[in-house]
Structure 1
Amino acid sequence: MPSPYRRSPCITAGCAMVALATAITGPAWADPAPAFEILLQQVGASPTTIEAEALRDAADARVRQARVRPNPTLGLDVENVFGSGPFEGFSNAETTLGVTQNLELWGRRGARFNVARAEAGAALFRRDLAVVDAAGRLALVYAEAEAAERRFDLAEEALGVTLADARAALTLVEEGREPMVRALQGESEAATARATLDEAQAERDATFARLTVVAMLPTPVTSIETSLLDQVPSASRSGAETTPVVRVAEAERDAAERRVAVERIQSRPDVSASLGLRRYEAEKATALTLGLSLPLPLFDGNRGNIEAAQAELRAADARLMGARQLAQADRNAALARLKASTSWVTATDAGVTAAQEAYRLSRIGFDAGRISQLELRSSRAALISSRNAAVDARLARVRAEIDLARLQGRVPFGAAQ
């Protein structure tokens, strides 16, 4: 039996490792991130939202431009000058000052305006979708950062528990109640827990850096105080009957249909009227000139552009049909995932409670020598696994809420847009 006053080099190294791990897991300075609700107020300043807003402004400007009539053309013609005989010089010149105006017959201006207005409507829906997507991306990054922080805290706590078990095993080895292999096993488990903690810390720092960028915060985030993972989505929440993607597809289909009308009108003659004042130098007289001009549709009937517009309309119909087919299926799937994740959260919380009690009893039994170190490790592993599963369940619930919110046209954990 080994003496309780003599430690092997292995045990000494294990104790040194335990002390070092304990010393470097202290609290750190933290700069908490604002609450998710506060960050949502800045979602309009995200690059994707700004881009969508700018494209909407451009579409509105094209609507205003589509209402404007084309400018008239001012022309000056001088005839019968610099010739020979009686037409030498300007004595018999005929000077005409005229104005030509495109009449925009057949409803050209109205059709052009209808296309611009339909495209502006599509741009508006794309802007709304961009806001919802930006809010969903922010919620996901926030939840992932919070989950990473919780995993780090759990890894830190797991290291502490593992170290405590290792110390208990070392005591039993020194007392001769356990073989040396138990000390080696404890040392190995502590090293694994330390590596897990380092990995969790790296993941936490990476998600904090991403949250800082996505939320456009002036200072780096080092902690999260207001929880999003613990927020429970309301099952009674409802958004618009038509999803934002379907609304965009409907607007694009409307614009494609109106472009067909424009191309058909373009096949009709483009009539221009002119009015002028002619000066006859020889007679010292003036007279008005009137005229109409239109192209003869002998070669170009605009058939290619009409067929292209009709093909684009068929494509828009197909996109709209696909969007409508997916909308209901995606909505039902998102509702099912949200319901399942909510149940998963409840189940994992119950599992954590049971695992905590099981580990507590196992530790009491181990200290009393009634159960083996293997059983203690098993209960500890079950506790660590159940706690991580609870974090995963909450993150899955947030993701399900994000998916459902996008389909309903609202921000996650918020109202419809």
Structure 2
Amino acid sequence: MSLSPPCRPPRAVGCAFAVLALAAGFPAWADPAPAFEQLLTQALTAPAAAEADANLAAAEGRLAQAGVRPNPELGLEVENILGRGPFQGVDGAETTLTVSQDLELWGRRGARVGVAQSEREAARWRRDASRLQVAAALAVAYAEAEAAQRRYALAEEALELAVADARAALILVEEGREPLLRGIQGESEAAAARAALDEARAERDAAFAELTALAGGQTPLTSVESSLLDRSPTASVGQAADVPAVLALVAERGAAQGRVRVETARGRPDVRASVGVRRFEAEDATALTAGVSLQLPLFDRNRGGVLAAEAEVRAAEARLRGARLDADADWRAAAARRDAAASRVVAADAAVTAATEAYRLTRIGFEAGRLSQLELRSTRSGLVQARDVAIAARLMRARAEAELARLEGRAPFGAQL
């Protein structure tokens, strides 16, 4: 699609019309993405969220199991059989049937249940944190897909403007008011705009593929109709909060403290009670038996286990302190970024308005022969750049809102989890 130097103006005009023809006939989009709130409901059933739900169900199962007492033991013992003298055969046998039960003294069962309750609480907060993470990631992916869609439309418009400018330049070349070089430059700019359009199409398709994957849908999403970039962010709560990720660490610290009690109880002796029935074959009589067994803690008092559990408590407390400091710093940074992004959106919109008017006036002057093609090219590039900056500013605002919402424990843009 390039012009050779001896090419005459009429042929150059024909080349420009060929470029314009290439700009037409782009495939139409289908399967538009639903609104963000509806897509979020779908995304919360995707594998990432389903895994957190399964982890919570597992923690609830462990809690139910922690409250179950140990099973009793059944024992059968036969004495005084198959010996010599009066103990030949089984006529002098003594048969004892016993049932024994671990009494779980020293608060063992309560400590075990307390740990399981804290672990269940941590799993619940982890589930909530996962849902917040899904909501934030989906908001970013939704905004990026919409931004890619707008950039593709902008690239289409830039191509149309480049072709229109090239056509106007070639008309001036045909009239002898501009050198042939201007026509060649116009066609080159149109070709570059076409390449930019192909790149924007690839970015758009990649962004929608990512959105489809996060939403967990089977049908590929290819367009956005309900805008998220133009939506105003939700008002901030004004301070950092203990979000689910931090509350999960609080619960994990409680579980670690409970393990200290569990390990302490393990260092105390096991106590078992038993009751049974004894049969005396020689006397043809029956009697009851009862007993208590107790371990002697001479060697193993589980001191190492207690020390390890206490160290785990200190580690959990350190993680909690660090997470709270990080959450506060992240919240302050996210709030500042969102405020800056909001100001940038206002400035970018004003720049688009100014660039649009500048291009309109320059186009009028160019067609009247008062301004050069270089000036027209400059204002057109400024307009395209201003619109691209406006898209980037809105995308930055959406990203900041998604991050701030996650740090405040809410869904972005007022959505409900």
C-alpha separation in 1, matches of 2:372 and 2:68: 88
**1:29 to 1:325, Cα distance in 2 relative to 1, 3 A:** closer
| TM-score computed with the length of structure 2 as normaliser | 0.94
8 Å CA contact retained: 2:17, 2:167: no
Of the structure 1 ranges 228-237 and 104-113, higher mean CA displacement relative to structure 2 is found in: 228-237
- What SS class does the counterpart of residue 28 from structure 1 fall into? coil
Match of 1:156 in 2: 156
8 Å CA contact retained: 1:140, 1:399: yes
Alignment of 1:276-287 (within 5 A): 276-287=276-287
Amino acid at match of 1:175: E
C-alpha separation in 2, matches of 1:19 and 1:400: 39
Of the structure 1 ranges 36-45 and 347-356, higher mean CA displacement relative to structure 2 is found in: 36-45
Deviations 1:374-401 (A, max 9, x none): 1111111110011011111111111101
8 Å CA contact retained: 1:81, 1:87: yes
The alignment yields a C-alpha RMSD, in angstroms, of: 1.8
8 Å CA contact retained: 2:234, 2:412: no
Of the structure 1 ranges 228-237 and 337-346, higher mean CA displacement relative to structure 2 is found in: 228-237
Of the structure 1 ranges 349-358 and 219-228, higher mean CA displacement relative to structure 2 is found in: 219-228
Match of 1:84 in 2: 84
Structure 1 residue 235, shift from structure 2 partner:
2.6
C-alpha separation in 2, matches of 1:135 and 1:398: 12
C-alpha separation in 2, matches of 1:239 and 1:292: 59
Of the structure 1 ranges 238-247 and 228-237, higher mean CA displacement relative to structure 2 is found in: 238-247
**1:29 to 1:58, Cα distance in 2 relative to 1, 3 A:** closer
Deviations 1:265-285 (A, max 9, x none): 110001111111111111222
Of the structure 1 ranges 187-196 and 230-239, higher mean CA displacement relative to structure 2 is found in: 230-239
8 Å CA contact retained: 1:173, 1:179: yes
C-alpha separation in 2, matches of 1:17 and 1:305: 81
Match of 2:169 in 1: 169
Amino acid at match of 1:105: L
Structure 1 residue 181, shift from structure 2 partner:
1.5
Structure 1 residue 407, shift from structure 2 partner:
0.7
C-alpha separation in 2, matches of 1:325 and 1:29: 46
Match of 2:399 in 1: 399
Match of 1:208 in 2: 208
Amino acid at match of 1:327: A
Identical aligned residues as a percent: 60
Match of 1:14 in 2: 15
**5+ residue gaps in structure 2?**
1-6
8 Å CA contact retained: 1:49, 1:134: yes
C-alpha separation in 2, matches of 1:267 and 1:95: 35
8 Å CA contact retained: 2:37, 2:416: no
8 Å CA contact retained: 1:240, 1:416: no
Amino acid at match of 1:220: P
C-alpha separation in 1, matches of 2:162 and 2:30: 26
Structure 1 residue 107, shift from structure 2 partner:
0.3
Amino acid at match of 2:335: L
**1:186 to 1:78, Cα distance in 2 relative to 1, 3 A:** same
Of the structure 1 ranges 209-218 and 346-355, higher mean CA displacement relative to structure 2 is found in: 209-218
| TM-score computed with the length of structure 1 as normaliser | 0.94
8 Å CA contact retained: 1:48, 1:134: yes
- What SS class does the counterpart of residue 101 from structure 1 fall into? strand
Match of 1:23 in 2: 24
**1:240 to 1:88, Cα distance in 2 relative to 1, 3 A:** farther
C-alpha separation in 2, matches of 1:34 and 1:416: 15
Structure 1 residue 115, shift from structure 2 partner:
0.3
C-alpha separation in 1, matches of 2:113 and 2:397: 46
Amino acid at match of 1:261: R
Match of 1:72 in 2: 72
- What SS class does the counterpart of residue 229 from structure 1 fall into? coil
8 Å CA contact retained: 2:40, 2:135: yes
**5+ residue gaps in structure 1?**
1-5
Is residue 234 of structure 1 aligned with residue 234 of structure 2?
A: yes
C-alpha separation in 1, matches of 2:301 and 2:329: 44
C-alpha separation in 1, matches of 2:323 and 2:28: 49
C-alpha separation in 2, matches of 1:280 and 1:376: 117
- What SS class does the counterpart of residue 23 from structure 2 fall into? helix
Amino acid at match of 2:45: A
Instruction: Give the aligned length.
Output: 411
Match of 1:128 in 2: 128
Match of 1:244 in 2: 244
Of the structure 1 ranges 117-126 and 9-18, higher mean CA displacement relative to structure 2 is found in: 9-18
**1:239 to 1:49, Cα distance in 2 relative to 1, 3 A:** farther
8 Å CA contact retained: 1:239, 1:416: no
- What SS class does the counterpart of residue 76 from structure 2 fall into? strand
